[in-house]
């Protein structure tokens, strides 16, 4: 069974997720640790609980979600998995972050590409890759059907959605992604977003003011 741990890191208050299983494996999603103390927090959680990191994934490559990629790569030897459409954003992340007066060492190791429908095997568990562009051109969400949750990046928030005023974003694509990829999931599905508190698909279908479920109209 997968356990989901959430860490809120960096000045943008980004949610980093660590999924662990009964085999003591850890899957790290969107490591946003920017400060040394945040890296230490993540390291303490992993090593203090004797978890072995086995995979590193970015739901998308805006800078607040990739700050910790280099740290994880160097500390645990993991290579990054992203959608191919996110590679350009990953390369541009250091330039964008300077607008906030920040800087960081970007990941420059080997990339492994994830596409719609891919299955990520995590011990005895599976995560399905959903292609959910709009906030960024290659945003993905990771769906665990067996345990009714999805790691959604910055696609869908509680009563909100991801920004579409950023390079490569598209409001129509975002709405389509939410309606066709997320709102089609069971209502009880928990959404773990890239910022803020978790929500559920059923709640958002009824209460999200930005993207309504057309079937309810």
Q: pTM, whole model, 2 decimals?
A: 0.97
The Cα-based distances of 2 to 19, 51, 60, 125 in angstroms read: 6, 13, 22, 7
Q: Which CATH number fits domain 3-216: 3.60.15.10, 3.90.1150.10, 3.40.50.720, 3.30.470.10?
A: 3.60.15.10
CA 10/CA 50 separation, integer angstroms: 25
Span 168-184, pLDDT tens digits = 999 999 999 999 999 99
Q: How many other β-carbons are positioned within 10 Å of the β-carbon of residue 63?
A: 25
Span 78-111, pLDDT tens digits = 999 999 999 999 999 999 999 999 999 999 999 9
Angle at 139 between CA 34 and CA 64, to 5 degrees: 15
Task: Identify whether the C-beta of residue 81 lies closer than 8 Å to the C-beta of residue 55.
Answer: yes
């Amino acid at each position: 069974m997968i356990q989901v741990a959430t860490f809120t890191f960096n000045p943008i208050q980004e949610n980093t997720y660590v999924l662990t299983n009964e085999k003591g494996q850890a899957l790290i999603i969107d490591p946003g640790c920017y400060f040394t103390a945040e890296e230490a927090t993540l390291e303490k959680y992993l090593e203090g609980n004797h978890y072995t990191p086995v995979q590193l994934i970015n739901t998308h490559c805006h800078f607040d979600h990739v700050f910790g990629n280099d740290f994880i790569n160097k500390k645990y030897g993991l290579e990054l998995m992203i959608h191919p459409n996110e590679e350009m954003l990953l390369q541009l992340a250091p330039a964008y972050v300077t607008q906030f007066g920040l800087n960081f060492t970007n990941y420059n190791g080997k990339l492994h590409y994830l596409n719609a429908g891919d299955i990520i095997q995590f011990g005895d568990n599976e995560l399905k890759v959903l292609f959910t562009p709009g906030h960024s051109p290659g945003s993905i969400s990771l769906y665990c059907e067996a345990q009714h949750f999805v790691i959604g990046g910055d696609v869908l928030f509680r009563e909100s959605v991801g920004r579409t005023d950023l390079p490569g974003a598209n409001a129509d694509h975002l709405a389509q992604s939410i309606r066709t990829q997320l709102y089609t999931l069971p209502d009880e599905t928990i959404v773990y977003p890239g910022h803020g508190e978790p929500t559920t698909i059923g709640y958002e279908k009824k209460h999200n003011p930005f993207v309504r479920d057309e079937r309810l109209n």
